[in-house]
Structure 1
Amino acid sequence: MVNIKDKLNQTENKFPNEFITYFENKFHFQNIELSELLKENERIAYWEEFYAQSIESNAISFLKKCFPQLRFPIAYEIEKSQIYKNAVLKGQFEILNLENELQLINAEQIKISIYDSFAGKIPVILIPNEFDFIKIVQCLLYKNNPTPVPLSMGALMINGINNWDRLNKLKKSWTPSNLKDQDSLLQTIQSYPHLYKDRLIICSTKPYSNVAASKLKMGNEEWLNASYIIRLEHECTHLYTLKNYASASNNLHDELIADYIGITKALGKFKKEWMLEFLGLEDFPKYRKGARLENYLESINLDSESFGYFSHIIYSAIENISIFDDSLGEIQSNEDRCIRINCLCETGLLNMASENGGNILVENYKKLKLSNQT
C-alpha cells in the first residue's frame, strides 16, 4: 500500500489548494459543560411533550406550525419574496394566505418520533414517500429552492433551525416588566438560542445510499430494516461529533466515521464491502458514477487524475478501518463506541489512509481508552 501522506507531500503542487485543505483534520475535542447538557434537555422536552400528547395526530400540520417553510411551494428564489421573509424570519404566518401551498403525495404517512441514541435524544421526522422526502429537504435545507437532492441521500441532520411554535410560546410566557415591546423581547430571546432553535433528523425509508438489496445479497425487507438503523446511527454520529467536537461537516472524514458506526450497529461488526458499495468504490479503482462519494466534493474541483487519487485515499482509509475493527472486535458498549468515534475523529484522514493506518488507529484507540480510565 502506498504511503499516501508522504506521496501527497511530494506531489501537493499538482493539486488545488482546496484539495490539501480538504484533508485537514477539523475535529478538536471539547469537554461538554453541564450548561450545555441542560440546554439539550430544553431542546428535547418540547418534542417529548408533543410525542406524549399527539402521537396519533397529523404530524405535517404540527410541523407547519413549527416551520413555515413547509407551507411554501418549491420555487426558484422564493426566499427573496417579502411574504417568505415575513413568515420564515419573523414568524408572521398565522393568517398566511398562499396561492399555492406545498403539495405532498403521502403527507398522512409522515411520523415524528424521539430517537434515544448513544449521542442523546433527538427528534426524527420519518418520511416514507421518496418524493415527499425530497420536497421537505428542499424546504428546510435549501429555502424552498428546487435544488437537486441526490438519489443517494436518504437522511440528514438539521442543526439550528428556528422553531416558530417554540418561539411563539416563549414570547407569550416570557414577558419581563423591563421589556416593553416585541423588538426588545426578541432581542433578549435571541441570547438563548437553545430555547427556540432545533436539532432534528429528516429520514426516509428507502435503501441506504440508494443501494439495492440484491447488491448486498439480502432480502428487500431485511435490507430496508438495516438501512433505517444505519441511517439513524449515521446521523446520530454527526450529532455526537457536533456536541463533542463542535463539528459536523459535509466531509468524507465525517462520513466514514458515521458509516462505520451505522454499519456496526446494524450488523454487530464492520463490513468494508458495504462501505465501499455505499460510496461507489466496490469495483475500485473504478468509481460508480452517481454514488455518494461525489456528494461530498462540491467544495473542490477535481480533474480525473485528482479524483482518482482522492478515491485511492478513501479506499485505503476504508481498508484500514477494517483492520482497526478486526483488531478490536465487536463494539461492547456505548463507552466503547464513543472511544472508537473519538479515535477516528482524532486520527486525520491521511494518517488513516497511510500504509500503517490500521495500526495507527489501534494505537490511538488504546491511548484514548487508557486516558478514559484514569
Structure 2
Amino acid sequence: MDNSVSLKINQEFSLNLSHALKEYLFNKFDNKPLYSEESSIEFWDNYSKNNTSGNVFDLLKKCYPQLNFPIETGIDKSELYKEFVFKGKIDLASLPSCLELTNSKSIKFENIICSAGRIPVLTISNEKDFVKIIQSLLHKNNPVEIPQSMGAVLINGINNWERIKILKSQWLAKNPFGNWNQEFSNVILNKPLYKDRLIILSTKPYSNVSAKQLGLDEDIWISNSVSIRLEHELTHLYTLKRYGHASNNLHDELIADYIGIVKTIGYYDKWWMQNFMGLEEYPKYRRGARLENYVQENRLSQEDFKQLIKIVKNAIETIAIFDEKIGKLASSKDESCRIEALCETGLTILVSQKGGDILLDNYYEKFNKF
C-alpha cells in the first residue's frame, strides 16, 4: 500500500510525503471560536499593586512550590515533593534544600496587554536561572536538557497554590463551619480558578543566533531578541484562545516568528527567519538549530526531515511574498487577520503553487468579515 502523496510546491519540484510526515503536517487549527476569560489577572493585578519587596521570586515560590526544590533526577517521585507540589503543603521552612538561583532579584514581572487579552510575563536575564526555572516548572525539577535555541515558553495551566489559598480563605469566611476539603473537590473541576497561564522569557540572542551572524550591533540584537520572543509567545496565546491550540509544531512556529519579526522591525525579514531555523546555507541544515526542536517527539525519518527542510524554506518564501504584498502592519485587526489566515492555511497548502494566492484570499476574506 502506498502511503505517500505527491505535492507540487514553489520552485517547480515535488515532494513525496510519508504517512508520518503527512500526519505531522496535518493542520490542527480549525475555525471554532474558543475565546475564554483569564481569571488569574485579578491575582496578578493585586500583586503588581501591593508588591513592595521587589523580589518576584519570593512570590513565585509561594505560588509554585516546585521552585523551592533543587534540580535533581527523580525528585518528583519523593513523598516530600508530592506533599508540597501536588498537595500544596505550604510549610516551606521544613524543606531541607531549595532551588538556588544565580540572580533571583533580577527576575522582572509585568502584566502584558495584547490582542488575546492579558497575561503575566516573567523576564529572566540570567541564562542559568532561566534553565533552572524551566526545568522546575515544565519538567518537575528533573535536569532535562534545555536546547540553547529555546529562549521562552508559554505555560498553559499550572497550579497556583496562592490562588487556592485565597479561595480557601474566602470560602471559609462565608462558610465558617463548612468542609473545605469537600468544597475543594468541586473547585478542582473549575481549572481557571486556580491554574495560571504565564509567559517566561530569557534575554539571550533569539534562536541562539548571534548578532554577528545577522550583521547587527550586539545591544540592538538583544533588544530585538526580547521583543521577538515576547510577540512570538503572545501569538501562541492568541491561537490558544482562538483555536484552543498552541504547540511546538513548525506551522505554529512559523506563524509566531512571523508576527514576532514584523512587530519588532516592521517587516518580515526572511533571512532572519532562515537563520532562526538553521537554513541560512539552504539546502544545508545547521545542526542544533531550532528546526529540530519541533520534531523530536515525532517519528520522522532522515528523508522526512530533508523533505521538511524544503517545506519550511518554501513556506518562508511564501510568507515573505505575502508580507510584501499586504504591507506594513496597520492595526490589531490587521494582526489578527494575518494570524488567522496563516493558521487556516496549512503548510502543505502554503507551499503549493497556489499557496500564496490562497493565503492572500484567506487574509482578505478575514479582513472583510472581521
TM range (shorter): over 0.9
C-alpha distance in 2, partners of 1:207/1:104? 21
C-alpha distance in 2, partners of 1:126/1:55? 18
C-alpha distance in 2, partners of 1:221/1:242? 32
1:192 is displaced (CA, Å) by 2.3
| Match of residue 270, structure 1, among 268, 271, 275 | 268
Q: Which moved more, 1:177-186 or 1:356-365?
A: 177-186
1:196 is displaced (CA, Å) by 1.0
- Compared with structure 1, are the counterparts of its residues 213 and 120 closer, same or farther at alpha carbon in structure 2 (3 Å cutoff)? same
C-alpha distance in 2, partners of 1:178/1:371? 52
The residue type equivalent to 1:98 in the other structure is L
| Match of residue 86, structure 2, among 71, 86, 89 | 89
C-alpha distance in 1, partners of 2:265/2:54? 34
C-alpha distance in 2, partners of 1:280/1:286? 8
- Compared with structure 1, are the counterparts of its residues 93 and 346 closer, same or farther at alpha carbon in structure 2 (3 Å cutoff)? same
Q: Which moved more, 1:315-324 or 1:347-356?
A: 347-356
What are the Cα deviations for residues 99-127 of structure 1, in whole angstroms up to 9, with x where unaligned? 22111111111111111222221111111
Residue equivalent to 1:192: 190
Mapping 1:165-204, distance limit 5 Å: 165-175=162-172, 177=175, 180-204=178-202
What are the Cα deviations for residues 14-68 of structure 1, in whole angstroms up to 9, with x where unaligned? x3x33221111100133346xx33xx2x321111111122165211111000000
DSSP-derived class of the 2:123 partner: strand
| Match of residue 320, structure 2, among 319, 322, 325 | 322
User: Are the equivalent residues in 2 in contact too, given 1:179–1:185 (CA < 8 A)?
Assistant: no
DSSP-derived class of the 1:3 partner: strand
C-alpha distance in 2, partners of 1:193/1:348? 31
Which 5+ residue runs of structure 1 have no aligned equivalent? none
The residue type equivalent to 2:160 in the other structure is N
- Compared with structure 1, are the counterparts of its residues 178 and 48 closer, same or farther at alpha carbon in structure 2 (3 Å cutoff)? closer
User: Are the equivalent residues in 2 in contact too, given 1:171–1:185 (CA < 8 A)?
Assistant: no
User: Are the equivalent residues in 1 in contact too, given 2:41–2:119 (CA < 8 A)?
Assistant: yes
The residue type equivalent to 1:158 in the other structure is I
User: Are the equivalent residues in 2 in contact too, given 1:257–1:341 (CA < 8 A)?
Assistant: yes
Residue equivalent to 2:8: 3
DSSP-derived class of the 1:27 partner: coil
User: Are the equivalent residues in 2 in contact too, given 1:86–1:93 (CA < 8 A)?
Assistant: no
1:177 is displaced (CA, Å) by 4.3
User: Are the equivalent residues in 1 in contact too, given 2:276–2:289 (CA < 8 A)?
Assistant: yes
TM-score normalised per structure 1: 0.92
Identity of aligned residues (%): 47
| Match of residue 109, structure 1, among 90, 102, 106 | 106
C-alpha distance in 1, partners of 2:248/2:92? 37
User: Are the equivalent residues in 2 in contact too, given 1:18–1:299 (CA < 8 A)?
Assistant: no
Give the CA RMSD over aligned residues.
1.8
DSSP-derived class of the 2:94 partner: coil
DSSP-derived class of the 1:174 partner: helix
The residue type equivalent to 2:291 in the other structure is L
What are the Cα deviations for residues 218-264 of structure 1, in whole angstroms up to 9, with x where unaligned? 11111111111100000000000000000001100000000000000
The number of residues matched between the two structures is 361
- Compared with structure 1, are the counterparts of its residues 186 and 256 closer, same or farther at alpha carbon in structure 2 (3 Å cutoff)? same
The residue type equivalent to 2:8 in the other structure is N
Residue equivalent to 1:285: 283
User: Are the equivalent residues in 2 in contact too, given 1:117–1:233 (CA < 8 A)?
Assistant: no
Residue equivalent to 1:75: 72
Residue equivalent to 1:23: 25
Mapping 1:1-374, distance limit 5 Å: 3-4=8-9, 7-8=14-15, 11-12=16-17, 15=18, 17-32=19-34, 36-37=36-37, 40=38, 42-54=39-51, 56-175=53-172, 177=175, 180-372=178-370
DSSP-derived class of the 1:69 partner: helix
DSSP-derived class of the 2:224 partner: helix
C-alpha distance in 2, partners of 1:235/1:3? 32
- Compared with structure 1, are the counterparts of its residues 340 and 173 closer, same or farther at alpha carbon in structure 2 (3 Å cutoff)? same
What are the Cα deviations for residues 133-174 of structure 1, in whole angstroms up to 9, with x where unaligned? 000000000110100000001100101100000111111111
Q: Which moved more, 1:351-360 or 1:235-244?
A: 351-360
1:193 is displaced (CA, Å) by 1.6
The residue type equivalent to 1:101 in the other structure is C
User: Are the equivalent residues in 2 in contact too, given 1:43–1:198 (CA < 8 A)?
Assistant: yes
User: Are the equivalent residues in 2 in contact too, given 1:317–1:354 (CA < 8 A)?
Assistant: no
User: Are the equivalent residues in 1 in contact too, given 2:231–2:260 (CA < 8 A)?
Assistant: yes
DSSP-derived class of the 2:368 partner: helix
TM-score normalised per structure 2: 0.93
